[in-house]
Amino acid sequence: MSKLILIDGNSIAYRAFFALPLLSNSKGLHTNAVYGFTTMLLKLIEEQKPTHFLVAFDAGKTTFRHKDYAEYKGGREKTPPELSEQFPVLKELLESFGIRQFQMDGYEADDIIGTLTRTADEQDGMEVLVVTGDKDMLQLASDKVKIALTRKGISEVELYDPAHIEEKYGLKPAQIIDLKGLMGDASDNIPGIPGVGEKTALKLLHEYGSVEKVLENAAGIKGKLGEKVAAHAEDARMSKELATIFREVPVEIPWDDLAYGGYDGQVLGDMFRKLEFKSLLERLNLPGGGNQAASADAEAEAKAEARIQSVQVTPDRLGELVEALPGVRALHVEVIGDNPHTGEVLGLSFYTESDSGTDPIGYYLPFELLKQEAEEAERVRAWLADEKKSVAVYDLHRALVALFWQGLELRGVSFDVLLAGYLLDPTESALTLHGLTARYGLTAIPADEDVFGKGAKFKLPEADVLLSLMSRKALAVMELARALQAELEASGMNELFHELELPLALVLASMERKGIKVDVEELQAYGAELGKQLEKIMQSIYDEAGMEFNINSPKQLGEILFEKLQLPVIKKTKTGYSTDAEVLEKLEPYHPLVGHILHYRTLSKLQSTYVEGLLKEVRPDTGKVHTYYKQTIAATGRLSSQYPNLQNIPIRLEEGRKIRKVFKPSEPGWRILTADYSQIELRVLAHISQDEKLIEAFRQNMDIHTKTAMDVFGVPEDSVDSNMRRQAKAVNFGIVYGISDYGLSQNLNITRKDAAKFIEQYFAVFQGVRRYMDDIVKKAREDGFVTTLLHRRRYLPEIKASNFNLRSFAERTAMNTPIQGTAADIIKLAMVQLDKRMKEEGVRSRLLLQVHDELVLEVPEDELEVMKKTVAEVMENAIELDVPLKVDVDDGANWYEAK
């Protein structure tokens, strides 16, 4: 099957221009429309794999339609010169891609595309995709022709075929011209019938079928509408004619001339370097990308360096910085230390960009000057707190936290290059400014360890080196903000960034600054209790072993287990016997000593990691722990908690759950409230897979594990025993994580054969889940990535690997990422919405923690019932799924009691 892509060049160029911020290269040439168009081309080539390609353009302002209606398109504003200058460049770019372009005097791009789709309709083995921003094109849809209509800028499209047009409008494709005939089109200055909008036009067409039939029945249409139809009959006929795409243009292009065999990397690379699309050079690994580009552009880099002005702010130059603040476009807050709650703010750097075209200037302000009492310093502090400004930063969350502990607020941040870089490639580990600028081929930034040193070798560099680094960091933020904003648009993640991740950074910083109170005395008492238990267990271990030994030494433990007690050797390492948890769990039935060892390890970890670890993290000035959430660690979008990690408290064991008793409200008479999503990932799976049995179970509020056991084992509900439910539960959650028969056999302690049979039975029952698994792997192989319901992407380059293990891992990742990622997106969305709701309602309650699928708040007694309802309502309605979201809400005097 051949695939032809036809692009409405003018329409997409306009969309790209207005969707992206104005970008220009070092020569001053505006490139935002070209950049947006380029990202769409790359996406089409990667996802659609066309065999034929053409971009059609309007030839001029006058077409055959103007002969009949001189005012056609007369209301349009003049094309902005910043866009006009890009059309010749865009056409040159298409040549670099090897894509055919075409225009013809007297006709519009619509007519050229309409003619080619008509020809394609008459051919066997041809499939056509029309890409446009013009709804008129929907009239061309057929069994062979689909219309990709842009919705938000150029980043999102909606695909239309005759069935979708019927579903959305209740019309056939040919009736789109009747719709335009009745309602007109202000953008093309097509009059239609005054006062008839889309809703009325559709109602008329559903009743009468066409413009002509509406006009014939004008007398029977009641009220003023009938009068308008009669009075403007000629306008309606003319409007329909103007909206009709002419499909008989004398286009003489042999099909072979439209054949597309891909682009020449050298040619396209040369064009990208000319346009300074460094990020695309890097992304496609074209000649001149990455380090090659940096080397080839060394002379330009040297000139740019000479052009950069760096100002070291001193007490007598504070006023100069104050005067420059209105032009600041990028801000960088340099925080020393991994934990921003305890880190030191070294200084702030600002980068200005003047509207007058003067050279930009980088300012570096040492932090001690910002804290002084001078009026100029106060004005800088006020500027930082002003929400009316619009600046880009690197790691907003970290900056907010670090400045807070210094008594400063930061507002008016509209872009975070760290968050954007993470969204665009969540598996990338080098998300430092050094790594990001290298990825996108921008102003080179040395790695921090190369400037400051690392660990014990840390020291501040010379003043001129520090000034250069700080100025370059602020410049890099500004450059990255432009490049990454454009990529977010092109990848369809602009909304995810601006409406979820960026607001979430503010919510997280607010939560962390509040912190959660820890009862230190109770924690110390629990530590003492654990110490006594450990002493008893140690004695039991020595008694069973018949001697004392170092329990924490794998070598000595191995000698006791496998030489003295002669237990079967499960696994060996290079240094001797393995005594890891997996081995000990298999050995537990053989000797009581093994169970004591496992219990000892559990309690020992509780004491060292959670009792002693928590005590170290309690701030003396607040009596609380202030955990630090990282937004940019997990590829699925999950948050991770550090300093301390409150997400890994081992609550499956009672000893672990008791740790939660020390977390209490910070106000007398308040309560801890917890709200936990119930089986959110399985509910997301039901929605994404559209499996009828899963959907039915959740809609009927059944216990999903019991329901699974009933269906897989073929028994009624009252015959499901605890073991059957346990197996069903393991499979349910295993499916979410792409479990293998081996993984399930380990979880249930059954043979791989039995595990494989169980999985086979599961898929025989839940066929929608099986279908989803197959389809998502196939789509990932075609696209190279998978997405969540909120359009978060995860790229999977290994999905086509020849190595079986790499490929299998990518396939499992393709299956579980949309589920896990969507679940992560949902709770983050709930956090943002809950924070907004609490502010609107002016409650005193505080959001404190997020732990996987659970939110933890502290709530005054008089707000408890209201907050229970509010939290549940917000979380259960964070997103609309085909199954209900369910939240379990509890409260208690401490976190333990609230569960």
Q: What are the DSSP calls for 227-285, one per residue?
A: HHHHHTHHHHHHHHHHHSPP--------GGGGB-----HHHHHHHHHHHT-HHHHHHHT
71 shares its domain with 184: yes
pLDDT exceeds cutoff 80 at 289: no
252 shares its domain with 325: no
Burial of 161 (C-beta count, 10 Å sphere; 0-12/13-18/19+): middle
pLDDT exceeds cutoff 80 at 375: yes
Of the three residues 484, 514, 544, the one that is the final residue of a domain is 514
Q: How many domains does the chain have?
A: 5
**277/155 Cα distance (integer angstroms):** 18
pLDDT exceeds cutoff 50 at 302: no
Backbone φ, ψ for residue 751 (5° rounding): -75, 155
**259/277 Cα distance (integer angstroms):** 26
pLDDT at 355: 54
pLDDT exceeds cutoff 50 at 841: yes
The answer to whether 117 and 126 have CB atoms below 8 angstroms apart is no
**CATH number of residue 529's parent domain:** 1.20.1060.10
Query: Which of 743 and 628 is assigned the larger pLDDT?
Result: 628
pLDDT exceeds cutoff 90 at 243: no
pLDDT at 152: 63
Angle at 848 between CA 845 and CA 852, to 5 degrees: 130
Average pLDDT over residues 322-349: 93
64 shares its domain with 200: yes
Write b or e for each residue in 458-477: b if 16 or more Cβ atoms lie within 10 A of its Cβ, otherwise e. eeeeeeeebbbbbbbbbbbb
**535/548 Cα distance (integer angstroms):** 13
Closest of 509, 590, 547, 492 to residue 786, by C-alpha? 492
pTM value is 0.66
Cα 542 to chain center, whole Å? 53
**CATH number of residue 686's parent domain:** 1.10.150.20
**585/596 Cα distance (integer angstroms):** 11
779 shares its domain with 821: no
Does a cis peptide bond (omega within 30 degrees of 0) precede residue 644? yes
702 shares its domain with 845: no
Q: Which two tokens stand for residue 32?
A: 């935002």
Average pLDDT over residues 431-435: 89
804 shares its domain with 778: no
81 shares its domain with 195: yes
pLDDT exceeds cutoff 90 at 685: yes
**738/773 Cα distance (integer angstroms):** 9
Burial of 254 (C-beta count, 10 Å sphere; 0-12/13-18/19+): exposed
Confidence grade of residue 126 (pLDDT, cut at 50, 70, 90): confident
693 shares its domain with 638: no
**478/796 Cα distance (integer angstroms):** 29
Is residue 371 a part of any domain in this protein?
yes
User: Tell me, what DSSP letter sits at residue 797?
Assistant: G
Strands (E), 73-198: 100-102, 126-132, 145-152, 156-160
442 shares its domain with 553: no
Which domain range does residue 348 map to?
A: 308-514
Residue type, 847: L
Cα 647 to chain center, whole Å? 22
Q: Which two tokens stand for residue 366?
A: 């040492």
456 shares its domain with 342: yes
Confidence grade of residue 135 (pLDDT, cut at 50, 70, 90): confident
Is residue 296 a part of any domain in this protein?
no
Q: Bridge-partner residues for 6, per DSSP?
A: 54, 130
638 shares its domain with 785: no
674 shares its domain with 715: no
**140/149 Cα distance (integer angstroms):** 12
Of the three residues 770, 791, 812, the one that is the final residue of a domain is 791
Q: Bridge-partner residues for 858, per DSSP?
A: 672, 846
CB atoms within 10 A of CB 615: 16
- How does pLDDT run across 481-531, given as a tens digit for each residue? 989 998 999 889 999 999 999 999 999 999 999 999 999 999 999 999 999
pLDDT exceeds cutoff 80 at 813: yes
The answer to whether 482 and 23 have CB atoms below 8 angstroms apart is yes
Q: How many residues comprise the chain?
A: 899
pLDDT at 465: 87
For the chain, give the percent of residues with pLDDT over 70.
Answer: 92
Average pLDDT over residues 805-821: 85
Of the three residues 772, 791, 810, the one that is the final residue of a domain is 791
pLDDT at 60: 64
